[in-house]
Amino acid sequence: MLTKEKNDLLTQTGPGTPMGDVFRCYWIPALLAEELPEPDCPPVRVELLSEKLIAFRDTEGRLGLMDRHCAHRQVSLWFGRNEENGLRCPYHGWKFDVTGQCVDVPSEEPAFCRKIRLKAYPLVEKGGILWAYMGDPDKKPPLPEFEFANVEPEQRFISKRFQECNWLQAMEGGIDSSHVSFLHSMNLDSDPLFKGAGGNKYNLSDMKPVFEVVDNPGGLLIGARRMAEDDQYYWRITPWIMPSFTMVPPRGDHPVHGHFWIPINDENCWAWSFDYKSQRDLTADEREAMKDGLGIHCKYIPGTFIPLANKSNDYLMDREAQRKGITYSGIEGIAIQDASLQESMGPICDRTNEKLAPTDKGIMMARRMMFKAIRNLQEKDERPPGVDPEQHKIRSASVLLPRDQHYKDAAKAALRVQLGEPHASV
């Protein structure tokens, strides 16, 4: 349970909000690289942390992310002409480069435009994603070092989907691995990107996982242990890196999944989803399944990132499939199963009514860490956990361990990124 005030504190991320300040300490995913595929391609409207922006790639291939509205009379630069190293407003021809600097006002002498500049943020391509940094320029950290972003393009697949709710309830779904045994249980047997893994049987047989959550540089390790044979536990270990990076523990030889949950504004967010294999390319079948909306990805309304099954059509609820146990909730697909329930909490989940259980330990500790980060940033200007890219070099893992060993020690090597080496996976 959170008070209204505390719930507001974590869920509001617009300019000037305390949690908004925290988010502005990080590089955050803004666009898929393929959304700005080539020099002088069409500009793209972006909304992040409640700021309306425009992104473009100039003639030299440089990336720009700046105020969406022209400095002159507030026309949206989405209508602009992207040409000769700048985005030109179609109203009076004012032109801006990727830094937001006005470089031409056709009706005036050059001196005029030099004094005009749009608010702009660095936008950098890495690992198939365009990352934005919206904070204090003097405190800009080095680029992210998440493993998926450091492997070859052939080894990964990235998608994003529009989600009609606040970022926090989406992220809390990502921390919470206990719902897999219910909501996604049928998918463990049927989804080509999940099925067949040896560990699945523990997920489905032990419905009382015990959670052990520990602090870790940059965030948390959330370990869920289930009973296994021979005096062993089956451990699934989910790292959370502040503010909103989570990774699903691996299953057999399947690619490893992960998410970012990025606020568009306080009532909408992007659910970023990636898959990668650390030691090999994705197979054609795996890539095909991902494109087809399987695993943690989804099908879209053509030309958009809005899922085909969404709130407006009750996520294509199929009561017959629910009744027959083809799906647990009647909704098809892991991504939409999550989206449907998270959105059903309302645009901003009212946490004054919630009743957390021991399985929500990860959620509770994550909130505590965020409250502390907010306080330290506000009071001491201290960068929050997860800003330092060294803290990104972590893996999820699924392992069988003797019952008398704690995963934190026994799985230490498994949780460390070792480029080119396979994940520890059951």
Strands 232-241 and 245-247: antiparallel
Amino acid, single-letter form, for residue 94: W
User: Is 333 among the residues that bind a copy of itself (CB under 8 A)?
Assistant: no
Is 171 exposed, middle or buried, given 0-12, 13-18 or 19+ CB atoms closer than 10 A? buried
d(CA 319, CA 138): 54
User: Is 321 among the residues that bind a copy of itself (CB under 8 A)?
Assistant: no
Candidate list 29, 265, 360, 415; residue touching a copy of itself; CB under 8 A: 360
User: Is 310 among the residues that bind a copy of itself (CB under 8 A)?
Assistant: no
CB 414 within 8 A of CB 397: yes
Handedness of CA 251, 253, 254, 259 (dihedral sign): positive
CB 247 within 8 A of CB 396: yes
User: Is 371 among the residues that bind a copy of itself (CB under 8 A)?
Assistant: no
Measured from the CB atom, the residue of 120 and 282 that comes closer to a copy of itself is 120
The binding track of 143-182 with respect to a copy of itself, each residue x by CB under 8 A or -, is --------------------------x--x-----xx-xx
Measured from the CB atom, the residue of 60 and 253 that comes closer to a copy of itself is 60
User: Is 347 among the residues that bind a copy of itself (CB under 8 A)?
Assistant: no
Candidate list 48, 294, 331, 373; residue touching a copy of itself; CB under 8 A: 331
Candidate list 9, 32, 308, 317; residue touching a copy of itself; CB under 8 A: 317
User: Is 402 among the residues that bind a copy of itself (CB under 8 A)?
Assistant: no
CB 194 within 8 A of CB 187: yes
User: Is 93 among the residues that bind a copy of itself (CB under 8 A)?
Assistant: yes
User: Is 78 among the residues that bind a copy of itself (CB under 8 A)?
Assistant: yes
Measured from the CB atom, the residue of 347 and 389 that comes closer to a copy of itself is 347
Measured from the CB atom, the residue of 105 and 228 that comes closer to a copy of itself is 105
Measured from the CB atom, the residue of 143 and 321 that comes closer to a copy of itself is 321
Helix crossing, 334-344 with 167-175: angle to 10°? 130
In sequence order, the 6+-apart residues with CB closer than 8 A to the CB of 201 are none
d(CA 188, CA 195): 5
d(CA 252, CA 73): 57
Q: Which residues bind a copy of itself (CB under 8 A)?
A: 42, 69, 71-76, 78-81, 90-93, 105-108, 112, 116, 169, 172, 178-179, 181-183, 207-209, 317, 319, 322, 328-331, 337, 340-341, 344-346, 349-351, 353-360
